[in-house]
Copies of this chain bind each other. A is one copy, B any other.
Amino acid sequence: MLEFDKLSLNVPTTTKKRVVIIGGGFGGVNVAKNLDSRDFQVVLFDKQNYHAFWPLLYQVATAGLEPDSIAEPLRKLFGNKADFHFRLVRVTGVNPVEKSVKTLIGDLHYDYLVIAAGSKSNFFGNKEIQKYAFPLKQMTDALNLRSQLLQCFEQASITRDPEIQQSLLNFVIVGGGPTGVEMAGSIAEMRKHVLPNDYPGLDFSKMNIYLVEGLDRVLPPMDPESSKTTHGYLEELGIEIKLKTLVDTYDGETVVLKTGEQIKSQTLIWAAGVTGSMIDGIPAESIERGRILVNEFNEVQGLTNIFAIGDIAYMKGGDPAFPNGHPGVAQPAIQQGERLAKNFGQLVRNRDMQPFRYFNKGNLAIVGRNRAVADLPGGVHLGGFLAWVTWLFVHIFYLIGFRSKLVVLSNWIYRFFTYQRGTRLIIRPFVRKDDKVAQEFLVKNEMV
């Protein structure tokens, strides 16, 4: 790597309006895609060079899909777009007065700024849990977790200490939302179909999967009927569900619940919440509950020409049907991105922007083979095989890139018939977060 001072952003000057987008997720990509290159120069910043299909991240963590199957290089996505400039660099701040974005290798002036930086795991201030738990937000999280799961079984099969073995075979998932439910289901299916054959010496009746949720039902964002169906599916798969339960502490060895109950476990998976990946320079009064307050046009409260979309945006009261903001899933980000691009088109023509209105296409969650739930528009609730097939079609349909679709499809067809998981490879050894040397390396490379 070259030193930063030998680099510069090198974006060509332009007479067009320059739209700078921070983040190549669902929101950012959909702004860029829908901007007309005749009217706008588009500059996209991301510290990763790919756009990933995060709803399938849990399948990477559980060895069902390769990382590459759920990701597309950003340069490939926009290879045919004129006056589009991708820069692989971390944004360090925003200066609304100078209308510029700061990066590690220089500043850049914007006419319109779109903050689509997404969200990160929220540990609600619990430093100890943050240190030892496994989050599941980034590609590296999924690879770490995959290595951890597999190493637990490898080690469980070579220890003679029954207490240690049990702690290796106890998996605690915190958070009963879609990610937690899907992780729990996926691990349970591995236990049923894959692991006994891989580890013939291990007694898998000893393996426990706990799903811990603070509220009184799993999948709180979905319809109570779907929650109930899901609860049944999880129990069928032998997952122990603890509702109205919070985690107190975790020291890497013992999970202590607020009820006082203790579970010895080497693996605590944290799927309990997210918070916005905040950018320096946004005034405190524009931030609420870790997200950026925006009006009905996704314009940041108190600032001009700065917009926020997707997970990081909090449209408080702006959308009549969603007065408390939108759910932190792909669809609001996609739709806000599309709307914002159109609004920029309006602005350069001196026309009025249109307010954003979220169209809820429905919610889906999958527990395992033939077990899924769907809340569709019009109050339709599907379960079982029908919801499962819906889930498959929707996810294949929305996967970006023909190649990914083909590879994922062939993986899934293969898995359906063989019950196998192909990608059980430990490519990068996992290291404990209290390992100072490794930690320094990870921090330095922004892998945490």
Interface residues of A (CB under 8 A from B): 1-2, 6-10, 12, 48-50, 66-69, 71-73, 75-76, 79-80, 85, 87-89, 105, 139-140, 143, 150-151, 154-155, 157-161, 164, 168, 197-199, 201, 266, 401-404, 406-407, 410-411, 414, 418, 420, 422-432, 437-438, 440-441, 444-447
Contact = CB atoms under 8 A, between A and B. Distances in A.
Given A73-B425, A139-B425, 16 more contacts: A1-B431, A2-B266, A10-B160, A49-B426, A66-B67, A66-B69, A140-B428, A143-B427, A407-B407, A407-B411, A431-B445, A437-B441, A437-B444, A438-B441, A438-B444, A441-B441
Contacts of A8: 158-160
A161 B150 CA distance: 46
A18 to B, nearest CB: 16
Contacts of A414: 402-403, 406
A75 B437 contact: no
Q: How many copies does the complex hold?
A: 2
B430 A1 contact: yes
A422 B444 contact: no
A422 B437 contact: no
A257 B340 CA distance: 56
Contact of A9 (B80, B158, B431, B445): B158
Nearest to A160: B8
A431 B1 CA distance: 7
Nearest to A49: B426
A1 B164 CA distance: 12
A9 B157 CA distance: 9
List 8 tightest A-B contacts by C-beta distance, closest first: A68-B423, A75-B198, A66-B68, A73-B424, A403-B422, A79-B197, A66-B66, A441-B441
Interface-central residue, A68, A79, A431, by most chain B CB under 10 Å: A68
B425 A403 contact: no
A425 B155 contact: no
Interface-central residue, A10, A158, A432, by most chain B CB under 10 Å: A158
A406 B49 CA distance: 27
26 contacts: A2-B159, A6-B159, A8-B160, A10-B157, A10-B159, A12-B201, A49-B150, A50-B424, A66-B68, A68-B68, A68-B422, A68-B425, A73-B198, A73-B424, A76-B197, A76-B424, A79-B198, A85-B201, A89-B158, A139-B427, A140-B427, A401-B422, A407-B411, A428-B428, A437-B437, A438-B445
